[in-house]
Amino acid sequence: MLCAATFAAAQSAPAAKPQVVVLATGGTIAGAGATAANSASYQAAKVPVDKLISGLPELANVASVRGEQVFQIASESFTNEHLLTLGKRVAALAAQADVNGIVVTHGTDTLEETAYFLHLTVRTDKPVVVVGSMRPGTALSADGALNLLNAVTVAGEASSRGKGVLVVMNDEIHTGRDVTKSINIRTEAFKSPWGPLGMVVEGKAYWFRAPVKRHTLNSEFDITKLGALPRVDIAYGSGNATDTAYKAFAAAGAKAIVHAGTGNGSVANAVVPALRELRAQGVQIVRSARVVGGGFVIRNAEQPDDQYDWVVAHDLNPQKARILTMLSLAQGADSKTLQRQFLEY
């Protein structure tokens, strides 16, 4: 039995800080401009992770933080191989008992794709938070420092567990499934069509909803079992569209083509015959939509998907549809399985 003095000491002892690892991959959050006035023109991926962490002493108030430099690239150059390398490192860290949360710093151009990939493949309930910035740290009103502090705060909070991979930007907490970059020059660039999960206000996370689609521990995908990912390409629909891009992608080895269609994933009459022919040759055809801000592609509306054996991407945008399609085909899925997965994930 504890004596009164021992009990009082235990009650007054400060709680142990969460252990958070920052995995750096480059991007604007590690960028530098020529002057403080350069917020949109700068060089990405210049500042190493140790300098990012040491330049933000406030991090020590919310967690015990250490960093690893996984890559130092601008995110438009993120390849499938980068996704696999990063995902396996995140999974390895998540399996360590001495790691409570993981933050991935990332360029904003493909941040949403990486976040969704991790959301689908890392089998953990520990918080994994992806973060970037819209302005380099050298700019007036740079947003990276607060974004990183907020990301570490969320990664270290027990309330963040089990919510899948999160994206923290501009004081908002988004699910990696929904969030997308909708603006390219303002700090409120990242939006979710169904709204954020919560907010970070003065060092505390406030939650308003939780994701209901399958992810992380409930996912049938597992980063530790993934090898090379099959080629999946995106072709953009527009007025006066032709079948040139679709045929070229298939000839180059694409196992699936995501059609970024107008409206309800519509396909121009001039393109339909080529897509039917490609499907007959074994190429999966996925109808997504280029529209921004919500809604989803309805199966057997605009096109007879059942008849053509095509798949609809539901509410996933083309770039996220590519991620899910790659993972599905890596496991040898047929069109029926792929369609199920689009509805469940």
Helix (H) or strand (E) holding 105: strand 101-105
CA distance from start to end of the chain:
50
Query: Is-catalytic flag, 337?
Result: no
Count Cα atoms within 13 angstroms, Cβ side, for 72: 12
Count Cα atoms within 13 angstroms, Cβ side, for 107: 24
Query: Is-catalytic flag, 180?
Result: no
Contact 125, 217 (CB under 8 A): yes
- Cβ count near 112 (within 10 Å): 27
Does residue 164 sit in helix, strand or coil? Answer: coil
> Of 25, 105, 108, 187, which residue is the catalytic one?
108
Strands (E) located in the chain: 19-26, 64-73, 101-105, 128-131, 165-169, 172-175, 180-181, 190-191, 198-201, 204-207, 232-236, 256-261, 284-289, 311-312
- Single out the residue of 215, 30, 66, 274 nearest to residue 138, CA to CA: 30
Catalytic residues: 28, 108
